[in-house]
Homo-oligomer: A and B are copies of this chain.
């Protein structure tokens, strides 16, 4: 079975051809400019490729409701030209195979469950911390959608007592994304996170916010594994700090070995690494 995959991001579209084992056989990266320009190249890539199905994990917000008239649209994004764009409709015009569609982070969660850090489990959560904070989740074996789709990157967090940064989320100011995404780090400290590796205060605050989010995710979803990826999480020293803060905040309330003895295996980096998104799209195609 030959599967097509599209990781549709705000800065680039990554397209790939792969198989049901999660192996990527061929890939191409296309800059996200206008829908017409970008989609033209995407469609050209897939022409003549003989794929059996296509999976698309997209930046959002997107309409995932199969009975909605705007199913498959990128909806209210502030990204110029992409607001209300019928992504799946446009692809369907040119690529005549079943198309699976979900958010980029739901796709990544599914990819990690199929072939990565959550293999064999029926629930997990995938969080990416980079330009924004995005989170996808699987519960009871199913990707969570709902009224819209989860937007867990914007949950409310408590301010650290040493932190006077006002937050940079245009909607909420000091929500999780506003306090902990890459741009928040840069805005608070005047330098990119990658240049601040040796400043422990930067990571103390970062772990404090991310751990609060994980604690709320654990209490609300009770996932069997938490997978943390994205540019900011390349700072691997964040993992022990986050785990320590999670255990401290839960304070013995959740009596499970994942928290008490095995937290190193519970809060983990993605196994698929930077392929999580593309493999996730492949997993969306595999399910069809």
Contacts and interface: CB of A to CB of B under 8 A. Distances in A.
Nearest to A122: B146
Interface of A: 61, 75-76, 123, 135, 137, 139-140, 142-152, 154-159, 171-172, 212, 215-224, 249-256, 258
A224 B147 contact: yes
A150 B76 contact: no
Q: State the main secondary structure of chain A at its contact with B.
A: loop
Given A139-B142, A140-B142, A251-B171, A151 B221 contact: no
A243 to B, nearest CB: 15
A212 to B, nearest CB: 6
Contacts of A137: 220
B255 A147 contact: no
18 contacts: A75-B255, A76-B255, A135-B220, A139-B146, A140-B145, A142-B142, A144-B222, A147-B218, A147-B224, A147-B254, A147-B256, A150-B221, A151-B219, A152-B219, A157-B158, A158-B158, A172-B251, A216-B220
Could you say how many copies of this chain the assembly holds?
Answer: 2
A144 B278 CA distance: 28
Contacts of A139: 139-140, 142, 144-146
Given A216-B156, A216-B216, A255-B76, A140 B147 contact: no
